[in-house]
Every structure is written in structure tokens, then in C-alpha cells.
Amino acid sequence: MSENLFFSSLLATVMFIMVLCPFAEKIGLTDRPDHRKQHKKPTPLIGGVSIYLAILVTLLINDFQLPHQNAYLAAAGLLVCVGLVDDYKGLGVRIRMVAQVAAGLIMTEMADIKIINLGDLLFTGNIELGGFSSFFTLFAVVGGVNAFNMIDGIDGLAGMLTLVSMTALALISWFAQDMLLFNFCSIIIATIIAFLVFNLRVAGRTSASVFLGDTGSTLFGFTVCWIAISASQGQHPIIASTTVLWIIAIPLFDSVCIMLRRLSQGRSPFNPDREHLHHIMSLTGYSVNQVVMRLASYGLIMAAIGIIADLLFNMPEGLVLLCFLGLFTCHYWGISYAWRILKITRYIWMRRKIKEGAEFKKKEERRGNERALMGNEQPISVKRRALKDRRFTPTEQQLNMFYRREEKMDDPDYRKRLKAKIISSWLNLYIGSQ
């Protein structure tokens, strides 16, 4: 069953992307270049709607029923519709927030997926939210959606980080033998892989051929929140609530840090800028693909730490939370002093490049010497030494002339004539070179 769902959603995503690309270019549903963006030509914003349609078609053609399927499709469909309008015409922050809250209400009230238990965070027993569960869930969902929306700043980053989170949740559900959740994760993973084929800078592409848009980034964030809360809550949770923080650590770190910095500067937390983690890494000299691979690797390490601490070592949830907050504090400090760290990083990077260049030069010289010896020629290093040893050796007559001129230097008239002669010589040399 999982194989059929995987390949059905994979092929459906590819099909919808290829069909919708020309249509998006025709109606102007594209992301146009400006001073904040790196791409050079308008790029279709149909990644999110293609993924949603692929999920819908996969569920219709396969004999598979998701837990609370209708509620998920309704909430995700609402976010996709609002995201499409936002990508096409542009909407204010308030309208998008209202749509996210509405999707969260569908999740909490129709599907009854809520955060009701935070675990033993204070070492005094489980913290039950009771009547505050719906409000806290809405806060968490809106925060998660915007975290994945904010991380979508360079080609392939949002897709790769979502792939890391979904893979972690798929492995947890597979180990727990929760096949319904595992199949749901398989569908989402397949759609992400198909989208990344068009979004990553691979196969000689210098920029993505398709973007997620706000449609896709909000869909990714909402889906991760839906699955993560389902896995950590209920009568038989398969992971602790604190483990979810580790699974979405990189988007969470970046969004919270950037919001705190904007608020401290008196700006709106939703104002766009180029001070995200991926922008700072790009300024250190890393290419787009290097930034994506490094952040995806960091996300994978963080998810592995959370899963191992929870499932393998069964660490107390309060201790896991303290470790997470300590790591977040270090990250926030690093981002606050990012420009100083950036100078140090650039210096180290330049020193490394200079060292690599010197080592390459030595290797080339060694190879040249070996080739010269095989051809019975003089080695390059010997030739260079011979050139350095060719110093000017004056004759006795030249030395006597120099000494006589030195004696004449005491005469002011001679110094004036010599100065005029030097100026005339340099002038003639300059005119001749021109």
C-alpha cells in the first residue's frame, strides 16, 4: 500500500507541475525578480497547488483513508486558496493570519487534534492544558506555519527542511507500527521529492524552475504541525512533545530569532528582510546548494538528537527541553553577533583559499619538475633559482663612474640638471608607452 501511495503522489506531482507551469506563465502567476531576490526571470509559483492537487488525486485513486481526511483536506485547501491569491495579487498579514487561525480551528474542532499534554517539563508531573488546549494548539500551528513560510528564502531550502521533518516522523511512525501515519508521511515525502526535482539547482540549472510560493510553504508548515501533533498527543502518543521541537528545530530557531530581532529594533515581526540564517550563510561565501545541504544536515542532526534522546535513552522531557533552550540561546547569541562572526568566517575562508592555492601551486611545480626530469630537461625550480641568481654585477669602470657622480652630488647645479634629466626620461617613457 505505501509503495502505491508513494509512486502515485510522486507521478501526480510531476504531472501537475508540468501542466500548470505554462498556465501560470500565461496568467502571470509568477515571482518576478527584484532587489531582494536572486533569480533573473519570472518563475511560476505553482509548487504548493501542485502538491495539494497531487495529495488529493492520490487519496481519490487509492483505496486509502487518512485519519480525519476530510478535515485535513478542508483546512489545507483553505490555506492553498488564500496562498494562491496572495501569490497572485498580494494579501495583507491580517488576512493570512485569519486563514491560518481558521485552518487551526478546523484541526482542533473538526478533527479534535489538540495539544492537551505538554509532558513532564518541570519535573513535577505531566502538564495538562485542559481548557487552554485549543488556544495553545492554535498558537503552535500559526507559529509552525509561519516558521516554514519564513525559511523559504532560497531555492530548495523549505523543501529540504520539510523533507527532513517528514522523514523523521515517518521513521518514528514506522518503528511504532502506526501504518496510517506512516502512509500519510509517505505521500507527503513523495510530493516533496518530486517538487525538489524542479526546485533545486541541479542538472546545470542556475535557478529553480518552479517556486513553492506562500501556497506551498504554508501547506508544508501546516502538514508538519498536523502530523507532529497527531503523533505526540492522544491516548497512545508515539513521541514526546519536546521531540517535536527537535524535529522542526531549524525553521523554529530561524523564525523566533528573526522575530525577536525585528521587535527589538522596533519593526514589525513580519517585515521581510535579508537577515535570515540562510542569507547570512550566503554572505560568508557559500553557494545556494551548499547552504541548503548544510542546513538540511543540521536539521537532520537535530532531529536525530531528539529522537535518540526520547526513544533510545528515554531522557526526561524537562532535561530535553533544557538542552533545546540552551542550544537556542547559543543560536540567538550567534545570530545577534552574526556580522562580527561573518568577518571572522570570511577571514578564515580567505586564508583557507590562499593556502589551497599555494598547495596547488606547489603540486603543479612538483609535477612540472617530474615531467622535466622524464624529458631530460632542467627542472622548473632550478630554472627559477637560476633566474633569481642573475643579479647585476657592475664592472670596475661603472663603479668609478658612480663614485665620480656621487662626488658631483655635492654641487647644487649638478643635482638640478640630474633631476631635470630624470623627469625628461620618465616623460619620454610615458609618452612612448601611450
Mean pLDDT in residue range 24-44: 76
Question: Which residue has cell 527584484?
Answer: 34
C-alpha distances out from residue 197 to 18, 211, 286, 308, Å: 12, 11, 21, 31
pLDDT of residue 1: 62
Q: What is the rounded CA–CA span in Å between residue 431 and residue 423? A: 12
Higher-pLDDT residue of 419 and 14 is 14
341 inside domain: no
Residue 322 sits in the same domain as residue 410: no
Q: Is 23 exposed, middle or buried (0-12, 13-18, 19+ CB in 10 A)?
A: exposed
pLDDT in tens, 371-419: 655 555 555 555 555 544 455 566 667 666 766 665 666 677 776 776 6
Contact 302, 249 (CB under 8 A): yes
Mean pLDDT in residue range 320-345: 83
Higher-pLDDT residue of 271 and 5 is 5
Q: What's the one-letter identity of residue 387?
A: L
66 inside domain: yes
409 inside domain: yes
Mean pLDDT in residue range 102-112: 93
Residue 17 sits in the same domain as residue 123: yes
344 inside domain: no
Residue 366 sits in the same domain as residue 272: no
345 has a pLDDT exceeding 80: no
394 inside domain: no
- As given in the structure block, the three cell numbers for residue 64 are 486509502
Contact 263, 273 (CB under 8 A): no
Tally the domains of the chain.
Answer: 3
- As given in the structure block, the three cell numbers for residue 311 are 526513544
User: Phi and psi of 275, rounded to 5°?
Assistant: -115, 20
pLDDT of residue 422: 67
Residue 255 sits in the same domain as residue 381: no
What's the mean pLDDT when you consider all of the chain?
84
Residue 373 sits in the same domain as residue 405: no
Residue 266 sits in the same domain as residue 367: no
Q: What is the rounded CA–CA span in Å between residue 352 and residue 349? A: 5
Residue 275 sits in the same domain as residue 297: yes
Residue 420 sits in the same domain as residue 382: no
Band (43; pLDDT cuts 50, 70, 90): confident
Mean pLDDT in residue range 92-99: 90
pLDDT of residue 355: 77
Residue 11 sits in the same domain as residue 46: yes
Residue 116 sits in the same domain as residue 209: yes
The alpha carbon dihedral of 318, 321, 327, 330 has a sign of negative
Question: Which residue has cell 535518540?
Answer: 308
Higher-pLDDT residue of 374 and 73 is 73
pLDDT of residue 347: 74
168 has a pLDDT exceeding 80: yes
Domain that includes residue 407, residue range: 399-433
50 has a pLDDT exceeding 80: yes
Higher-pLDDT residue of 172 and 30 is 172
What pTM did the predictor assign?
Answer: 0.79
Out of 65-69, 244-248, 281-285, 408-412, the most confident range is 244-248
pLDDT of residue 192: 96
275 has a pLDDT exceeding 80: no
12 inside domain: yes
Residue 191 sits in the same domain as residue 296: yes
Mean pLDDT in residue range 5-13: 93
9 has a pLDDT exceeding 50: yes
Spatial neighbors of 52 by CB under 8 A, at least 6 apart, are: 76, 77, 80, 215, 219
8 has a pLDDT exceeding 80: yes
Residue 247 sits in the same domain as residue 101: yes
Question: Which residue has cell 529522537?
Answer: 307
Of 12-26, 185-199, 254-268, which gets the smallest average pLDDT?
254-268
Q: What is the rounded CA–CA span in Å between residue 317 and residue 309? A: 9
Of 7-11, 133-137, 269-273, which gets the smallest average pLDDT?
269-273
28 has a pLDDT exceeding 90: no
Q: What is the rounded CA–CA span in Å between residue 132 and residue 278? A: 35
Q: 10 Å Cβ neighbour count for 288?
A: 20
Of 8-22, 125-139, 154-168, 343-357, which gets the smallest average pLDDT?
343-357
Contact 30, 24 (CB under 8 A): yes
pLDDT of residue 387: 47
Mean pLDDT in residue range 313-328: 92
Q: What is the rounded CA–CA span in Å between residue 13 and residue 49? A: 9
Band (131; pLDDT cuts 50, 70, 90): confident
Mean pLDDT in residue range 42-68: 89
pLDDT in tens, 238-248: 999 999 999 99
